[in-house]
Amino acid sequence: PTRRSSALMRDFVLNTQQQEGSQRCWRHNLACALSSELLAQVLWTDSGLAYTAGLLHDVGMLAMVATHTEQYAEIMHSGCSEPAVFLARERELLGIDHCEAGRWLLSDWGLPPEFTAVTAHHHDSLPREAPELTVLVQLGCEMAGMAGFSTCESGPAWDPDRIAERLPGKSGDRLHTKIEDFPMTIATKINSFDCDFLA
């Protein structure tokens, strides 16, 4: 199922103009999906659900890249590495941010509310009682950026401790046993997907 959902998302990207923004966003979404899948395994929760939610989390950004190519390139190249600044820049230039656009798209498509919540809130400051899937994808999104797959020109440095310390109980320790070569694993899998779908 995860391979199929990746193929469907990749088809969506291939149907947009082949500009740098759509490729960067596609790779970030796939890196987030892979990171979310790993975190779900560490938390002993549904990794397929986490993968799909991670893959869809920035669907609003993909849509905005496709429909506002030049403006979005300006946002991506503006050095807005902090999510709050990035979202504010989107609203300033386009009148909507990618979280709200994604929420609207997934609602319109009739997807389950847990996916809509992820797209709408993955950059929010989340309360302790926030849904586990939203928290998990928020961390997966951060991991993707740290692994070199940011939607901006520069992302944060690789710092797995920053993710591990926010996991409950012994989950952080379990993450450390799986994460040492994870940036290389993500890069290899994304290159494999690109080769498969561009062939």
**pLDDT tens by residue, 50-95:** 999 999 999 999 888 888 878 887 888 777 768 888 899 899 988 9
Query: Could you tell me where the DSSP H helices lie in 43-181?
Result: 47-56, 59-67, 69-76, 83-94, 98-109, 113-121, 132-146, 160-164, 171-178
Residues in the chain, overall count: 199
pLDDT of 177 > 50? The answer is yes
Give the mean pLDDT of 100-125.
94
| pTM for this predicted structure | 0.86
**How many CB atoms are closer than 10 A to CB 194?**
15
